[in-house]
Chains A and B, each alone.
Chain A
């Protein structure tokens, strides 16, 4: 089996020749740029500056040589624009606070504020208000909330729809050429089409917009899911209309050369609970997800990838009914997310893409032996009969010891 066949077998709930592995296929299954750099050194790969694929979470680009070393079976066609609203193009060097030199888009323009924090600007426009902040000594950006005072009487869903637009020719050309460039790579092609996330809290503040309007404050958005449901229905409804037209155009250009599509990163779970009730999920989200997934399943062979952190066990039946084929990151450390239970109850109906090792405790703070042991145990539980793609639970975070990452890979290899 080549990588693509291996991954597709697992996605079709068939037993592959070995467990398929993803690192860097999506923006929720990647590796912090500092760890990518260390892994390149560890494996003695060609000296080169690592490209920052996602400047928000500072995820590094996993090049083919590193994919070989890590046994990665996926290839990522990244969104045309980053979360800060600019394309990754014309790379330039940038040194982070820890002294690591990396490559970033020419549009990644920053300023240091009085506090020593690094500020980044929407669409690279330093005359606009900054939309991202990396605190002094930090490793990641967070979005800056730019919320104008809310007047209930004049709230207009159009204000929250600014980012959802008909796909441009430039984006279509990018997707077509990027997919074409990797479709013969032998790896499974994973892409994100944009505009299909329903209220992803990372995107709500509009870090890609120069002057976001509408509801952009994070707490205000969560409150809106309870008290302004009509407003959200109007946003989601219009958003999906636009997305369906875009999907058709994208499919015309990329066809079934895409294997997996990242649809939505909205987190429904917290560490111990959820951000809404199951009833709210069914009323406010599921109908719109179904419109999208029914179109995709009716017209393409793409498998649909849903990311949601946290304690979402009670949502999984509804995720399946919503048309999701894949759940990520499978946060086994959250309440009710015990791996044996997940595999037993849902393993034949949804693919677990993640869950391989805990990134809150074991991977960053455990010993290499603890990492190996957990990886082996998770593989034993999740791998039988396919339906499992190995990935850490969310991105590998900065400051994760390199020996633990290597121990994780040894754990996978021991299982094979």
Chain B
């Protein structure tokens, strides 16, 4: 299916009104639901992520595009379910215990949703048990976020706790003080410095 240019541009530019109108019109015209997601929404979010990576878009533009995508997606979600179209994967994401910061975590969640994944946002100050419950609900990726050096060590405890019970679950980490070395040292499955890198990381693991 060709890309719905109006929808693509509206999401990319963060024009909520036009995006919603475009989705409704496309559905009215009988356009393929999965096609709208895969050929218009996901590419628009991919483009804003790439713009961010190369310094042409910034946090506000990502937030606006993601918010627009969510609005458009809300119209598609029930239809996707009815058509039996499964999300690419189930992901839970949260900021670790003791940490209340969530801008980075929110951006990662939005970009993953924009890439076609089902994302459960567990919020901030999340205990290991909270992540475990989400895994029990079917999440195969657990994404941990921390901004503070005082809460970053909590990630190690969560990785140990979850890996002992669910060795097949992928645990990915991110946040300002996090590095690849730290990720390796605590046995996490990966680290992304930006929201786009987090998406790339997930895509790589899904493809394996």
In the complex, chain A residues whose CB is within 8 Å of the CB of B63? 219, 222-223
A131 to chain B, nearest CB (A): 13
In the complex formed, the residue of B with least CB distance to A218 is B103
| B179, A361: Cβ atoms closer than 8 Å | yes
Interface residue A398 (Cβ < 8 Å from any Cβ of B): yes
Interface magnitude class on chain B = 20 to 34
Interface residue A384 (Cβ < 8 Å from any Cβ of B): no
B53 to chain A, nearest CB (A): 9
Pick from B58, B101, B125, B179: contact of A277, CB below 8 A. Answer: B58
Interface residue A160 (Cβ < 8 Å from any Cβ of B): no
A156 to chain B, nearest CB (A): 21
A22 to chain B, nearest CB (A): 20
CB interface residues, B 89-148, toward A, < 8 Å: 97-101, 103, 106, 125, 148
Map CB proximity to A onto B39-83 as digits: 1 under 8 Å, 0 otherwise: 000000000000010010011110110010000000000000000
A224 to chain B, nearest CB (A): 8
Map CB proximity to A onto B145-165 as digits: 1 under 8 Å, 0 otherwise: 000111100000000000000
Pick from A117, A226, A360: contact of B176, CB below 8 A. Answer: A360
Q: Which of A167-175, A267-275, A371-379, A406-414 contacts B (4 or more CB under 8 A)?
A: A267-275
Interface residue A291 (Cβ < 8 Å from any Cβ of B): no
| A359, B55: Cβ atoms closer than 8 Å | no
With known contacts A222-B63, A272-B194, A276-B60, A364–B98 Cβ distance under 8 A: no
| B98, A399: Cβ atoms closer than 8 Å | no
With known contacts A225-B60, A226-B60, A273–B100 Cβ distance under 8 A: no
For the residues of A in contact with B, the DSSP-based class is loop
In the complex, chain A residues whose CB is within 8 Å of the CB of B106? 219
With known contacts A135-B125, A142-B101, A271-B193, A364–B58 Cβ distance under 8 A: no
For the residues of B in contact with A, the DSSP-based class is loop
| A135, B60: Cβ atoms closer than 8 Å | no
In the complex formed, the residue of A with least CB distance to B61 is A226
| A140, B148: Cβ atoms closer than 8 Å | yes
| A142, B100: Cβ atoms closer than 8 Å | yes
Interface residue A287 (Cβ < 8 Å from any Cβ of B): no
Interface residue B177 (Cβ < 8 Å from any Cβ of A): yes
With known contacts A135-B99, A137-B98, A399–B58 Cβ distance under 8 A: no
Pick from B99, B101, B151, B177: contact of A360, CB below 8 A. Answer: B177
A116 to chain B, nearest CB (A): 10
In Å, the complex CA distance between A400 and B89 comes to 39
| B97, A137: Cβ atoms closer than 8 Å | yes
| B103, A398: Cβ atoms closer than 8 Å | no
With known contacts A135-B98, A142-B101, A365-B149, A273–B176 Cβ distance under 8 A: no
Pick from B14, B59, B149: contact of A364, CB below 8 A. Answer: B149
In Å, the complex CA distance between A135 and B100 comes to 8
16 extra interface residue pairs, beta carbon distance < 8 Å, beyond A140-B150, A142-B101, A280-B58: A135-B98, A138-B151, A140-B148, A142-B100, A218-B103, A219-B63, A219-B106, A225-B60, A226-B58, A226-B61, A227-B60, A273-B58, A275-B58, A276-B58, A361-B177, A400-B149
Residue positions of B touching A, CB distance < 8 A = 14, 52, 55, 58-61, 63-64, 67, 97-101, 103, 106, 125, 148-151, 176-177, 179, 193-194
Residue positions of A touching B, CB distance < 8 A = 115, 117, 133, 135-140, 142, 218-219, 222-227, 270-277, 280, 359-361, 364-365, 397-400
What are 18 A-to-B residue pairs whose CB atoms are below 8 Å? Answer: A135-B100, A135-B125, A138-B100, A139-B148, A139-B150, A142-B101, A219-B63, A219-B103, A222-B103, A223-B64, A226-B58, A272-B194, A275-B60, A276-B60, A277-B58, A360-B176, A360-B177, A361-B177
